[in-house]
Structure 1
Amino acid sequence: MADRRLSWWTKLAYGVGDLGTGMTANILIFFLLPFLTNTVGLAAGLAGSIYAITRFWDALNDPLIGILSDRTRSRWGRRRPWLLFSALPFALTFAAQWWIPFPGRTGLLFAYYLAVSLLFNTFYSAANIPYASLTAELTQDYDERTQLNQFRFAFSVGGSMVAVVSFPLLVNLLPDRAAGHLLAGACFGGISAVPLLLCFWGVRERYQSWRDPLPLLQQLRVAFSNRPYLFVSGIYLCSWLAFQFTATIIPYFIVFWMQLPEVWISLVVLAVQSVAVLTLFAWTRLSAHLGKRAMYLIGAGFWLISQAGLFFLQPGQERLMIALALLAGVGVSATAYLGPWSMLPDVIDLDELQTGERREGIFYALMVFLQKVGLGLGLFFLGQVLEWSGFIPSVAGEPPPTQPESALLAIRLAIGPLPAVVLIGGILLVWLYPITRQRHRQILQELEARRAGGGRFPSVS
C-alpha cells in the first residue's frame, strides 16, 4: 500500500475544499435566525419555518445530485466538475440571504428568504456532496481516510472559527445593521467560492467505478438495506442535531440569560472551534490506536459534561462559561466532525463488496441531507419553542428586551438537556456500530481478491 499513499499536497488540496462550505454553514448556524428575528423583524416561528420547508426540497435535491454525480462522465472525473461549476452560484446565493429587499413587508420577505434558501441549498449540495464523495475515491486505507477528514475539518472548523468571529465585526463596521449584514454576506460569499476551485485543481480521483449505476429508487433501497450505513447515518444525525441545537441557541443564551454584550458570542464560538481544530490531530492519533468507535465515545463524554454545565450556569460566571466552551470543543472535534465522516468510506467499501458498485454520490448525498435536516430542524424547532415560550423579538437600534421567565427557561433547556439527550442517542448507536478496523481489513482483502481474480459481484435485484 506504500506506493498508493496520498501526498501531503493532495491531502492539503482536499482539506481546503471544505473551507468555504464550512464557513458559510457555521455563519448560518450562529447568525441567521437572530438576523431574521432581530434585524429583518420576522416572528421566530415564521423565520424557523423557512428552513423546515427547505428540508422537503432537500429530500429530493440531495439524492438527485448524488445520483447525477455518480453518473457524471468527463475528462475531470465524476466529482470535480461539480466543484468548478457550482462555485459562483453558491457564493451569490449565500450573499443574497443577507439582503433585506422589502423592509417591513412580512409576506414578501418570507417569500424572498424561502426562495433564496431553496437556491442556496441546491448549490450547497452541488458543491458539498461531490466534494465529500471524493474521500472514498482518493484512498482505501482505513487510517488515511481519517487523516483526510482531519485535513478537511482542520480547514472547515478553522475557517468557521475565523468566519464566526469576523462576521459580526464586519456587520458592525456600518452603522446600519441591515447594510452591515449585506456587506458581511457578500464578503464571505466571495471568499467561499475560492476553496472549491483550489480543490478542483489540486486533487485527482483514483478509485472510481465506471459502471452504469442503478436507478435512483433502487439505489436508495440498497443504501438503506446496508445496516452499517444506517448506524452511521443515525450517529451523524444525532451528533449534528446536538451541535445545531447548541449553536443556534448560543446567541440567545449569552445575550438574554448571561446578560452579556454580543461580543461574547464570538468569544465563546472562538473557544469551541479553536480547541476543536487543535484536538483534531490528537483524535486522529487516538483513532489509529483505539479505532473510530472508541474515539467517538470518549469525545462524547467530554461534550456531555459541557452540556450539563451550561444548563446550571448562572449570570456572572463568564470564566466558567469559557471553560465549558473549551471542554465542548474537545468533544465536538471527535463527535460531530471527525467520527461519522471517517466511518462513512468504510461503509461504501462494504457496499461495493456486496453489490460490485461504488456509489459514493448517493451515500454522501444522504449524509449531507442529514446535515441540512439537522440545520432545518434546529432552526425550526427552536424558533417554535421560542415563540411558544413568549420570547420577545428585538427591535433594530434598541436595547435587547427583557425576556419572561418562560423564555429564559426554554433557552436554558435548549442549550443543556435537549442536546444531551440527542447525543446520548448517538452514543448508543456507536456502541452497536459493527465495522471495526479488523472487519474493514477483511472487506478490503475480499475486494482485492475479487478484482485480481476477475470474480463476479453479487447482483442486486
Structure 2
Amino acid sequence: MSSSIPEPRSADKPALPPVRRVAAGTTLAYGFGAVAYGVKDNGFGTFLLLFYNQVVGLPSAQVGFIVMCALLVDAVIDPVIGVASDRTRGRWGRRHPWMYAAALPIAIGWIALWNPPALSSGWTLAWLFGAAVVVRTAVSAYEVPSQALTPELTADYDERTRITAYRYLFGWTGGLLMLLAAYQLFLVPEAGQTNGLLNRSGYQGYALAGAAVMVVAILVSALGTHREIARLPQPQIAPGGLGTAFRELVGALRNRPFLILMSAALFAFANQGISFALSNYLYSFVWRFETATFAWLAAVLFAGVVLAFVGAPALARRIGKPRAAASMIALAGVLQATPFALRLADLFPTPDDPAMIPILFAIYTLNSAVSVGTAILGASMMADVVEHSEVRTGRRSEGVFFAGAFFVQKCTSGIGIFVSGLILAAAGFPEGAKPGEVDAATIDWLTILFGGTYLILSLAAAWLFLRFPFGADEHRERVARLAATG
C-alpha cells in the first residue's frame, strides 16, 4: 500500500477523534489512572536502589546493572503491547481490555519486589530482576493503552496539553502522597535505629499499601473512561499477521518528530531517574535532613507540580510546546546544579544554618515545576505525532507511539538507577553508611558527578526539543486535512 494513500475508514466508528473539550468526569478518571504509575515510579526511583543496596546489602553497581538489564526486556515488551493494543478489537474497544487485565499482576509483582526471601546475593539479584520485569510488564499493559487514549479523546492541540496536565497532576500527587506515607508512616526508625529508611520491616507495609493504591487507581480510571469506548477511533486493521504488525511498527518508528521526542525524553527522564535514585543519598548525607524535614519535602515538591499544572499549558499556548519544553528542561538543569556548585565554593548555607532549608526548598519547588512541565509538554507533543504519522502512512498508531514514549519514561528507573550506581561507585560511597560519617571528599565527588551529569543531560534535551519540526498551526492544518478525507 502506498504511504500517501490512507487506509479505508470504518463505516461505524470514527478514525479521527473530534476537536473537542473532554468532559470533566472523563478527564478526572483519565488523569486518576496515572496514580498507579506515580506510585510505581516513585518507589522504583526513590527507594529501590537504597533498599537493595543499604537494607538488603547488595553492591550499588550490581543493583543498578540488574535493573538496567530488566529494562532491556521492556524494549521488546512495550512495542509489542503497543502494536497489540492498536490491533485489539472487541466490545470493550482497543484499550480497556488491557487496562482491566493489568491490575492484579501489578499488585502481585509490587509486593514481591519489596519482600525478597533470604537468599544468596546472586539469587537475590535474580529475584530483583524477575520482580522488576513482572511489575514493569504489568505497568506497560496498563499505561501504554491508557496513555494512547490521549490522542483518541480529542484532536484539539491545546486540549491535549490540558488533559495531559491532569494526568501528571494525579500521577505526581499519588507518588508524593506515597512518598509522604513512606517517610511518616512506614519507614520510621525502630528502637536502635537513627534512620527509618533502613527499617526493613517498614518496606512490607509500604509494599502492601502501594499495591492497593495502584489497583484502585487502575480500576477507577478504566471504569471512569469506559463510557468513551463507543466514541474512540476504531480504524480498520490491515490484513496480515505478525509480519504486518512488525512492518507497521517499523514504519511508525521511522517518524522523525517521534524520534526527536524519544531522544529528548530519554535525556530528560534519565535525569529524573538519576535525581530520584540519588535523592535520599543527597537528602541524608549532603543536606543532613531530619525526619520532620521529609514531611515538608513532599509538600514542596507538590507545590511545584501544581505550578506545572497551571503554568505548562499557559506557556505552551504563548510560545509553543517545543520552545516551552526546551526552556523548562534547561532551567531544570541550572536549578539542580546551582546549590551543589555554591556548596563546593562555600557560598551555600551549611546543614546547621537555618537558612539552608528555605533556600533549598525554594529551588526544589521551581525545579519540580519545570521538570514536570517538561514531561507534560513532551507527552502532549507525542499525541500530536499521531496525526503527523497518519497523514504519511494512512494508519493511526497511538499504541505504538505511546509504547515508545512509555519505554523511554521507564528509563527513568532503569538508566537512572544504573547511572546512579556508577556515580556512587565512582565516588567511593560505602554500603551501610550513616549520615555524618561519610568522608567529606566522597560527598564532594558525589555532588560533582551528580550536578554535572544532570546539567549536561538537561541541555542536551533542550537542544533536541528545539528541533521538533511543527507546532499548533501545522497540527490544525493536518487535522483539517484528515477530517476532509475521512
Q: CA deviation at 1:286?
A: 2.5
CA distance in 2, matches of 1:232, 1:199: 27
Q: Structure 1 pair 37/56, CA: closer, same or farther in 2 (3 Å)?
A: same
Superimposed CA distance per residue, residues 58-100 of structure 1 (whole angstroms, 9 cap, x where no aligned partner): 1111111111111211211100111111111112211221113
Q: CA deviation at 1:344?
A: 0.5
Counterpart of 1:384 (choices 411, 422, 430) is 422
CA distance in 2, matches of 1:224, 1:69: 16
Counterpart of 2:211 (choices 186, 189, 193) is 189
Contact 1:302/1:330 (CA < 8 Å) preserved in 2? no
| Corresponding position of 1:457 | none
Structure 2 counterpart of 1:51, one-letter code: V
Measured on the aligned residues, the alpha-carbon RMSD in Å equals 2.1
Provide TM-score, normalisation by structure 2. Answer: 0.87
| Corresponding position of 2:461 | 426
Counterpart of 2:442 (choices 383, 396, 407) is 407
Q: Structure 1 pair 174/97, CA: closer, same or farther in 2 (3 Å)?
A: farther
Structure 2 counterpart of 1:132, one-letter code: Q
| Corresponding position of 1:119 | 134
Contact 2:152/2:233 (CA < 8 Å) preserved in 1? yes
CA distance in 2, matches of 1:394, 1:325: 27
| Corresponding position of 1:354 | 392
| Corresponding position of 1:322 | 361
Check if 1:156 corresponds to 2:151: no
What is the SS of the residue equivalent to 1:432?
coil
Contact 1:307/1:417 (CA < 8 Å) preserved in 2? no
| Corresponding position of 2:382 | 344
What is the SS of the residue equivalent to 2:102?
helix
| Corresponding position of 1:212 | 238
| Corresponding position of 1:309 | 338
Structure 1 counterpart of 2:325, one-letter code: Y
| Corresponding position of 1:455 | none
| Corresponding position of 1:260 | 289
| Corresponding position of 2:370 | 331
Superimposed CA distance per residue, residues 343-400 of structure 1 (whole angstroms, 9 cap, x where no aligned partner): 01111111111111111111111111111223211101211221232211117xxx44
Q: Structure 1 pair 187/164, CA: closer, same or farther in 2 (3 Å)?
A: same
What is the SS of the residue equivalent to 1:212?
coil
Structure 1 counterpart of 2:377, one-letter code: G
Q: CA deviation at 1:330?
A: 2.1
Percent of residue pairs bearing the same amino acid type: 27
Structure 1's consecutive aligned runs of 4 or more residues displaced over 6 angstroms after TM superposition are: none
Structure 2 counterpart of 1:212, one-letter code: A
Q: CA deviation at 1:157?
A: 1.2
Structure 2 counterpart of 1:31, one-letter code: F
Check if 1:442 corresponds to 2:477: yes
CA distance in 2, matches of 1:3, 1:409: 53
Provide structure 2 residue ranges, at least 5 long, that are not aligned to the other structure: 1-16, 192-198
Contact 2:161/2:376 (CA < 8 Å) preserved in 1? yes
Q: CA deviation at 1:111?
A: 1.5
CA distance in 1, matches of 2:365, 2:292: 17
Q: Structure 1 pair 411/268, CA: closer, same or farther in 2 (3 Å)?
A: farther
- How many residues end up aligned between the 2 structures? 446
| Corresponding position of 2:97 | 81
Q: Structure 1 pair 174/311, CA: closer, same or farther in 2 (3 Å)?
A: closer
Provide structure 1 residue ranges, at least 5 long, that are not aligned to the other structure: 452-461
Superimposed CA distance per residue, residues 219-260 of structure 1 (whole angstroms, 9 cap, x where no aligned partner): 332123211111111121121112111221111112112233
Check if 1:222 corresponds to 2:251: yes
| Corresponding position of 2:201 | 179
Contact 2:304/2:365 (CA < 8 Å) preserved in 1? yes
Q: CA deviation at 1:194?
A: 0.9
| Corresponding position of 1:90 | 106
Deviates more, 1:83-92 or 1:275-284: 275-284
| Corresponding position of 2:45 | 29
Q: Structure 1 pair 241/266, CA: closer, same or farther in 2 (3 Å)?
A: farther
CA distance in 2, matches of 1:261, 1:169: 12
Q: Structure 1 pair 168/358, CA: closer, same or farther in 2 (3 Å)?
A: same
Deviates more, 1:265-274 or 1:337-346: 265-274
CA distance in 2, matches of 1:44, 1:2: 49
CA distance in 2, matches of 1:393, 1:63: 37
| Corresponding position of 2:278 | 249
Structure 2 counterpart of 1:149, one-letter code: T
CA distance in 2, matches of 1:273, 1:241: 21
CA distance in 2, matches of 1:263, 1:93: 31
| Corresponding position of 1:276 | 305
Superimposed CA distance per residue, residues 328-352 of structure 1 (whole angstroms, 9 cap, x where no aligned partner): 02211211x2111000111111111
CA distance in 2, matches of 1:141, 1:154: 20
Counterpart of 1:235 (choices 242, 256, 264) is 264
Structure 1 counterpart of 2:465, one-letter code: V
| Corresponding position of 2:34 | 18
Counterpart of 1:48 (choices 50, 64, 67) is 64
Structure 2 counterpart of 1:367, one-letter code: A
